[in-house]
Structure 1
Amino acid sequence: MKIILTQEVSGLGAPGDIVEVKDGYGRNYLMPQGFAIRWTKGAERQVEVIKRARSAREIRDLGHANEVKAQIEGLNVSLSVRAGDGGRLFGSVTPAEIVDAVKKAGGPVLDRRRLELPGHIKSVGSYPVRVKLHPDVAAKFDLNVVKAK
């Protein structure tokens, strides 16, 4: 079965890639989860739109990845959240909130799917966060979770 990926699937490809998979895998997993669409001539034209959008936010090369890494590692990222007594959060910190905090701190716009968290962040404190920018480059920064006033 020929499909077009709409999201990154590890071991298979990136958004916009046209891949050949077994019928059951495509029909029962990839398409219902929204990871892929069936390949048609019209859908292949949409691939160009997907690829243009991906290239706009993608790290261009190793040199660009190292520049972004230096920029991220120099940031002081702080996230103000609602917390109860004892520093316990109401809920947990999401990757989307971390991406917004990096942007507010003056950093680049990151893809939330590339963040690697040390588990669920459910209390105030400092947490190490890793961002996979390129297959060879990963940036690390400390996220300071503080109680909102």
Structure 2
Amino acid sequence: MTTKLILTHDVTHLGTAGEVVTVKDGYARNYLLPRRLATPWTKGAQRQIDQMTEARRRRAIVSLEQAQEARDWLNENVVTVIASAGANGRLFGGVTTADLAAAVKEAGGPALDRRKIEVVPPIKSTGRHSASVRLHPDVVAPLEVDVVAAAR
């Protein structure tokens, strides 16, 4: 059986926020709905789709040129994030995508949407780490992060 859903967030290899997708029942029930990545499709949901599309349009980097400028800045700079860590360099918690977006903006870089930053594996220790940022459908930029322990 299949279920018709509206994506509320971008899902890799499935679609972007606001799209109506048809997926298998188990995928919807066990993954998309509990994580609030999608909502069930209804006839009255078209208004919600329109609102999400408008909000995404306002947040998005408008042109390919802007995305390429942002990619150039990210290629040239290493972003430093200060986090609480133990004596062995292991972080208390982890570095989130919101932390990364704030650190880029603080360093004078472009404003990034935290939902467009992908960190695999999660950053849980001090040192140099890599992430990627989907700036535009055609532009993906690497993001180099240097995690430093906060002074006690």
Residue among 95, 98, 108 paired with 1:96: 98
Change (3 A) 1:128 1:12: closer
Unmatched tracts of structure 1, length 5 or more: none
In the TM superposition, 1:1-16 aligns within 5 A as 1-16=3-18
Which is strand-richer, 1 or 2?
A: 2
Q: 2:126 aligns with which of 112, 124, 130?
A: 124
Q: How many residues align?
A: 149
Root-mean-square deviation (Å): 2.5
* Structural mapping, 1:1-149, within 5 Å: 1-22=3-24, 25-26=27-28, 29-117=31-119, 119-149=121-151
**Residues 31, 91 of structure 1: CA spacing in aligned structure 2 closer, same or farther, 3 A cutoff?**
closer
- In the superposition, the TM-score normalised over structure 1's length comes to 0.79
With the length of structure 2 as denominator, give the TM-score of the two structures.
0.78
Task: Mark the runs of 5 or more structure 2 residues left unpaired by the alignment.
Answer: none
SS of 1:16's equivalent?
coil
Higher alpha-carbon deviation: 109-118 or 123-132: 109-118
Moved more, 110-119 or 54-63: 110-119
- Measure, in 1, the Cα distance between the counterparts of 2:66 and 2:47: 29
Alignment deviations for residues 61-87 of structure 1 (CA, whole Å, 9 cap, x no partner)? 432321221233343421111122243
